[in-house]
Amino acid sequence: MAVAFWILAVVSVAAGIAVFVVDSMARATFALLASLLAVGLAFLLIDLEYLGVLIILMMVMEMLVMAVFMIMYMMNPAGLMPMKMVHNHRAAMIISAAVFVLLVAGIFLTSWPPRGGEPPADPTHQLGLAVMGPKMLVMMVIGVAILATMISTVVLATHRGRYARYGDDLERKRPLDPGEES
Partner 1 sequence: MVVTGWLLRRAARHPRPFLVSAADGTRARLRCEAEIARRRWRPALSPAEAGLLVVCGAPGDELSEAVRTIWDGLPSPRARADLPGDASHDLVAHALDRAVARLADGAAPGRPHGGPDPGDLPMADRGPDRDGLSLDRLHVPLGPVLPDWPSGLVVETVLQGDVIQEATVRWLEDGEPFWAEPWDRAAAGRPVTRGEAGRRRAAAHLDGLGRLLSVAGWPAAARSARTVRDRLLADAPREALTAPYERLARQVRRSGTLRWMLRGVGPAGDGDALARLEARLTATRAAIGSIADEAPLDEDRPAGNLLNPDLLVGAELATARLMVASLDPGPAVAHA
Partner 2 sequence: MSPWTAVLGLIALLAVGVLAIYLVSLLLSPREVLDARPFLSGHDPREHALSRFHVRWYAVTLVFLAFDMEMVFMYPWALVAAEVGAVALVEMFAFLGLLMVGVVYAWREGALRWS
Partner 3 sequence: MPELGLLALPLALVVLGLAAAGLDAVLSGGRASAPFGEIARLLVQQRRRTTRPDVLLLRVGVISLVAAPLLAAVVIPLGDAPVADLSAGIVWFNAMEVCVWGALWLTGWSVNSVFPLVGAYRFVAQGLAYELPHMFALITVALGAGSLRMSEAVQAQQGLWFVVWMPLAFLIYLVSALAMAFWGPMSQPVGSDLAGGVRAELAGPDRLLFQAGRYALLVVAAGAAVPLFLGGGAGPVLPGWLWALVKTVAVLALLVWVRHRVPAVRMDRFTQVSWLVLIPLALVQLLVVGIVVV
User: Whose CA is closest to 4, among 46, 51, 59?
Assistant: 46
Q: Is 104 in the site for partner 2 (CB under 8 A)?
A: no
Give the nearer residue to partner 2 in terms of CB position, either 19 or 26.
26
Q: Which of residues 113-172 bind partner 2 (CB under 8 A)?
A: 124-125, 127-129, 131-133, 136, 139-140, 142-144, 146-147, 149-151, 153-155, 157-158, 160-162, 164-165
Q: Could you tell me the sign of the dihedral formed by the alpha carbons of 149, 38, 103, 63, in that order?
A: negative
CB of 9 to partner 1, least distance (A): 38
Q: Which of residues 43-72 bind partner 2 (CB under 8 A)?
A: 44, 50, 54, 57-58, 61-62, 65, 68-69, 71-72
Q: For residues 16 and 46, is the Cβ–Cβ distance under 8 A?
A: no
Give the nearer residue to partner 2 in terms of CB position, either 45 or 104.
45
* Binding-site partner at residue 33 among partner 3, partner 1, partner 2, none, CB < 5 to 8 Å by type: partner 3
Q: Which of residues 155-174 bind partner 1 (CB under 8 A)?
A: 159
Under DSSP, is residue 174 helix (H, G, I), strand (E, B) or coil? coil
Q: How far is CA 12 from CA 17, 30, 98, 134, in A?
A: 9, 12, 18, 34
Give the nearer residue to partner 2 in terms of CB position, either 14 or 53.
53
- DSSP 8-state assignment for residue 47: T
Q: Could you tell me the sign of the dihedral formed by the alpha carbons of 130, 134, 136, 142, in that order?
A: negative
DSSP result, 111-133: -PPPP-SPPPS-HHHHHHHHHHT
> Site for partner 1 (CB under 8 A): which residue of 2, 80, 103, 107?
80
